[in-house]
């Protein structure tokens, strides 16, 4: 695993550093977001120091091309050192980007195993087309089958799976690190008799996000997961509006939100965006 300190040692404009950042984005999106923010903070500090240097007189006895070159190198190192300690800009960027992105948000819930820190966002480039294409190819057959059982468009079903699980990168994990196959963020509930896994989630109450630990269903396969989703949509009366004959996929997305599938007030809009990607890759 590449640490933020290792990447921060190079300038953001350095090609090798950018390649390492892209690799990190594939391995750990959250850490890559933090690293990118630190890189930006370092560049910002360097620009600020450069502006301060340019604002001072440049015709002193010790001013020359060589001294200016070494001063610039010193400013770069100073900027990196200051950014490593942090001035608050990187933290603000991580918070802003984590909240603005719709990837990996599970039913209005940003899910992570209870034993691990809650994940709060990822670089957009972490969800590249290759990753999305692989997700669609692997799981579309399950979505098609669930669509046949419910009448819900397969693109909506797979779109939900992608949105809830961050294109498979944020599946709810079991304590041993294995997957629970719960792509839809379905909670266990009192009537659930199967396996259960606890996870930290963010629920919205009156539009305000609140973190809490909840119990979620765990399955033995994706077949079970998609089958249980189909049973939930088909068997719960509150989702009757989603099953209306001839309902367009975007309208079904809003019907899901109105039925209370998610507490995130922007859930339907996020789902529609993801559905468009699924449709384009199908």
Q: How many residues does the chain have?
A: 282
Residue of 91, 118, 149, 203 marked active site: 203
State the DSSP H helix or E strand holding residue 207, giving kind and residue range, or none if neither.
none
CB 168 within 8 A of CB 159: no
Instruction: Tell me phi and psi for residue 27, to 5 degrees.
Output: -80, -45
- Between CA 30 and CA 168 the distance in angstroms is 15
CB 175 within 8 A of CB 113: yes
Give, as one character, the DSSP assignment of residue 242.
G
**C-alpha atoms less than 13 angstroms from C-alpha of 38 in its C-beta half-sphere:** 24
Q: H helices of 28-177, where?
A: 29-54, 65-85, 89-100, 129-150, 154-165
Q: Is residue 203 among the annotated active site residues?
A: yes
- Between CA 185 and CA 65 the distance in angstroms is 60
CB 57 within 8 A of CB 20: no
CB 102 within 8 A of CB 274: yes
Q: Is residue 41 among the annotated active site residues?
A: no
User: Going along 90-207, which residue ranges are E strands?
Assistant: 112-113, 195-205
> Residue 107: which of 281, 263, 270 has the closest Cα?
263
Residue of 75, 171, 228, 264 marked active site: 228
Q: Which residues are designated catalytic?
A: 203, 228
């Amino acid at each position: 695993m590449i640490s933020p300190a290792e990447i921060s040692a190079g300038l953001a404009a350095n090609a090798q550093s950018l390649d390492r950042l892209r690799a990190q984005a594939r391995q750990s999106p959250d850490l890559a977001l933090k690293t990118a923010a630190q890189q930006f903070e370092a560049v910002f500090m360097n620009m600020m120091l450069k502006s301060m240097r340019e604002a001072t007189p440049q015709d002193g006895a010790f001013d020359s091309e060589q001294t200016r070159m070494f001063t610039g190198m010193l400013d770069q190192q100073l900027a990196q050192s200051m950014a490593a300690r942090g001035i608050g800009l990187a933290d603000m960027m991580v918070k802003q980007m984590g909240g603005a992105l719709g990837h990996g948000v599970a039913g209005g819930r940003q899910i992570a195993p209870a034993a691990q820190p809650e994940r709060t966002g990822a670089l957009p480039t972490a969800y590249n087309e290759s990753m999305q294409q692989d997700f669609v190819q692997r799981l579309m057959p399950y979505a098609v089958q669930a669509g046949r059982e419910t009448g819900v468009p397969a693109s909506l079903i797979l779109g939900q799976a992608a949105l809830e699980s961050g294109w498979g990168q944020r599946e709810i994990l079991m304590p041993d690190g294995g997957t629970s196959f719960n792509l839809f963020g379905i909670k266990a509930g009192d009537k659930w008799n199967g396996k259960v896994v606890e996870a930290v989630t963010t629920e919205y109450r009156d539009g305000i996000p609140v973190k809490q630990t909840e119990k979620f269903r765990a399955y033995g396969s994706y077949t079970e997961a998609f089958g249980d989703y189909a049973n939930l949509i088909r068997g719960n009366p509150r989702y009757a509006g989603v099953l209306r004959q001839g309902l367009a996929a975007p309208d079904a997305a809003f019907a899901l939100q109105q039925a209370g599938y998610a507490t995130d007030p922007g859930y339907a809009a996020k789902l529609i965006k993801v559905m468009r990607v699924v449709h384009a890759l199908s």
